[in-house]
Amino acid sequence: MKKSAKLWIIIAIVFIIFLCVIAFCPRGEKESPPSGYTFIRDDAMAALYQPSFYCPPGYGSILAIYYRAAKDESGTIHIAYHPLWARERNDAKAWGAFLSRWLYTGGLSLQRAMFGKGDIETIGLTIDPSEGTIIQIDYETAADYDPRSFSVKHLNVIKTGRFKSPLRFSVVSWNHLFSLDGKVPASLNTPASTIPLAYFTPELWSKYAIWKNPETLLRKDRAHFVWERGVAP
């Protein structure tokens, strides 16, 4: 082998190592769970407020819902629900959707490399303990959704007021974003009681790689609230 060819091979190897270091080098310091919260494990309370869902068959079935809960210093209760799907995949017949399947959700599987196995989303509820009423709802929806596109733009939604439980959400995109929708006939909803509900234990939290702590260029946190980073005893 010529010296010039060997040199180019060495340069290529060094470049690949450099890219790997950049991609997987931590961005920031490891953090601790936030202070000011009392972390709660209460399956009965979580079941009481658990939403129901309408998920079109083409988007897959919700396999389970994991929750975490906490009480802040004012006594307000926060509950986060994390529906779990086996995967996310855009099956639309368009070039953007094809590239999404080939690069992101299949083929190179960047989604799994960046975030972890399966697909987990987040809905947050804030509860007024004096009345037991939902006073705030946090979730993500799809902005200007077009299934022919490669990606979906996330739009954070915060609704405040007084809301009756159970809430009903519709899954509106292939990557499992939501709308708070009371128009879907009850017969089409997946009742909350039929989806397994469980506390988001440290083992499950680690299995689905929710909080990378710290992130890297290619390893990103999954959607969650900062107060969820503490676990109940």
Residue found under tokens 């601790």: 32
Burial track 115-148 (b if 16+ CB lie within 10 A, e otherwise) = bbebbbbbbbbbbeeeeeebbbbbbbbbeeeebe
Chain segment 21-47, per-residue pLDDT in tens? 555 566 667 777 889 999 999 999 999
Q: What is the pTM of this model?
A: 0.86
Chain segment 177-187, per-residue pLDDT in tens? 999 986 556 55
The domain spans of the chain are 39-229
Alpha carbon 147 to its chain centroid, in Å, reads 19
Chain segment 201-214, per-residue pLDDT in tens? 999 999 999 999 88
Cβ–Cβ < 8 Å for 174, 147: yes
Cβ–Cβ < 8 Å for 85, 63: yes
Cβ–Cβ < 8 Å for 68, 49: no
Q: How confident is the model at residue 218 (pLDDT cuts 50, 70, 90)?
A: confident
* Whole-number average pLDDT of the chain: 86
At 107, which amino acid appears? G
